[in-house]
């Protein structure tokens, strides 16, 4: 069993995330018209609010709110539009939820707004490649910062999907993102790292990234893994008559397998759509971890 160290990640207002004692579940709340798995479902702030409340009731430890799709091929939107989508949702969730809120953004102005509305974590899919000012915003706000591995932009990321050694290259590139954050003033203990399954990675690369989690532990930071309903899963479960594989809505069982593997390989958090089902998978995986030789 891959060892999993414990971490305490500081949050604004003196709160903390304790990571390692059990795996935490981050629920995905996309308030976008074009996200690959749930685009358009939660554009209405009221619908988004009720979905988040249900996720918390189902076992989510955090809710990650996103106002811009980052799926491959998606187009970037303006800061104003992203703020317009997520600000009313954050205002509602701040009154209803007890779990911390994360905001999935690469834009400093969106991040400033989000922290002002009570968000405790920023989730940057670019690993500070797009705008390193985001790290300064996180530092000033005392927020936790997730840095994900990716290359290129959403519209052209697959052009960058060339690796000689996935584990080594992720280790080096995530390490560079971590150092960018620390240089900008983010405490090292506030950073969480994500291997970026599906981002600038062909299916084989995503499976290799998942298998490389023990290597990434060498960076000394907690690991978040987000396999939920992604197309790399369809490569394993696609039906012969459908070259593109199963649609996102049919990938939850495959997601549960990837989530279980991630936990056993050392992930501290998993980011998922189907909170109830994935919480069950996580709890079983945690029981397996707890039954290992070091615990008997």
Q: What is the domain-level CATH number for residue 62?
A: 3.20.20.20
Please report whether residue 227 resides in a domain.
Answer: yes
Cα gap 12→214, rounded to integer Å: 29
Neighbours of 122 (CB within 10 A): 27
DSSP, collapsed to helix, strand or coil, labels residue 257 as helix
In a domain, 167, yes or no: yes
Q: Which of 71, 107, 229, 271 is catalytic?
A: 271
pLDDT the model gives residue 42? 65
The confidence score (pLDDT) of residue 158 equals: 83
C-alpha 250/C-alpha 151 separation (Å) is 28
Averaged over 158-180, what is the pLDDT?
A: 96
pLDDT at 155 over 80: no
Is there a contact between 186 and 139 (Cβ–Cβ < 8 Å)?
A: yes
DSSP state, 77? -
148 within some domain:
yes
pLDDT exceeds cutoff 50 at 94: yes
Query: Do the domain assignments include residue 296?
Result: no
Q: CA 93 to CA 174: how far, in whole Å?
A: 31
d(CA 121, CA 16) in angstroms, rounded, equals 11
Residue 87, pLDDT above cutoff 70:
yes
Q: Tell me if 177 sits within 8 A of 130, measured CB to CB.
A: no
| Rounded CA separation 11/17 (Å) | 7
Rg (CA), the chain: 18
* CB of 199 closer than 8 Å to CB of 152: no
Q: What is the pLDDT of residues 44-86, one digit of tens each?
A: 889 999 999 999 999 999 999 999 987 666 678 899 999 999 9
Nearest to 106 by CA among 72, 73, 145, 141: 145
Which pLDDT band holds residue 186 (cuts at 50, 70, 90)? very high
47 within some domain: yes
Helices and strands, counts by H and E, the chain: 10, 10
Please state, in angstroms and rounded to a whole number, the distance separating the CA atoms of residues 231 and 254: 11
Q: Is residue 257 part of a domain?
A: yes
Which domain range does residue 163 map to? 7-291
Query: Structural domain tally of the chain?
Result: 1
**Closest by CA position to 195, among listed 148, 231, 261:** 148
Q: Is 230 a catalytic site residue?
A: yes
Q: Which two tokens stand for residue 16?
A: 């903390």
**Three-state SS letters, 217-229:** HHHCCCEEECCCC
Say what the pLDDT of residue 34 is.
54
Q: Is residue 92 part of a domain?
A: yes
The answer as to whether 110 is a domain residue is yes
From the list 129, 151, 229, 230, the catalytic residue is 230
Q: Reply yes or no on whether 95 is catalytic.
A: no
Task: Tell me what pLDDT residue 243 has.
Answer: 42
């Amino acid at each position: 069993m891959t060892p999993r160290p414990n971490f305490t990640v500081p949050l604004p207002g003196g709160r903390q995330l304790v990571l390692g004692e059990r795996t935490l579940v981050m629920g995905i709340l996309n308030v976008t018209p074009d996200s690959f798995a749930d685009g358009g479902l939660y554009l209405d702030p009221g619908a988004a609010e009720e979905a988040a409340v249900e996720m918390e009731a189902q076992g989510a430890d955090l809710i990650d709110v996103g106002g811009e799709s980052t799926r491959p091929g998606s187009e970037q939107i303006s800061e104003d539009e992203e703020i317009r989508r997520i600000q009313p949702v954050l205002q509602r969730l701040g009154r209803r939820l007890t779990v911390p809120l994360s905001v999935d953004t690469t834009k400093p102005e969106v991040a400033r707004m989000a922290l002002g509305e009570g968000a405790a974590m920023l989730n940057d899919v670019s690993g500070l490649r797009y705008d390193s000012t985001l790290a300064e915003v996180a530092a000033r706000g005392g927020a936790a910062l997730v840095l994900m591995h990716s290359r290129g932009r959403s519209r052209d990321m697959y052009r960058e999907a060339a690796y000689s050694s996935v584990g080594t290259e992720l280790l080096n590139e995530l390490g560079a993102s971590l150092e960018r954050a620390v240089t900008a003033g983010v405490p090292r203990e506030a950073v969480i790292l994500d291997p970026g399954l599906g981002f600038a990675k062909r299916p084989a690369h995503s499976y290799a990234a998942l298998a490389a989690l023990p290597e990434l532990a060498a960076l000394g930071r907690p690991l978040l893994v987000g396999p939920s309903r992604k197309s790399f899963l369809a490569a394993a479960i696609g039906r012969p008559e459908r070259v593109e594989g199963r649609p996102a809505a049919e990938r939850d069982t495959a997601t549960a397998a990837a989530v279980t593997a991630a936990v056993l390989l050392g992930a501290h958090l998993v980011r998922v759509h189907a909170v109830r089902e994935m919480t069950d998978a996580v709890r079983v995986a945690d029981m397996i971890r707890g039954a290992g030789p070091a615990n008997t």
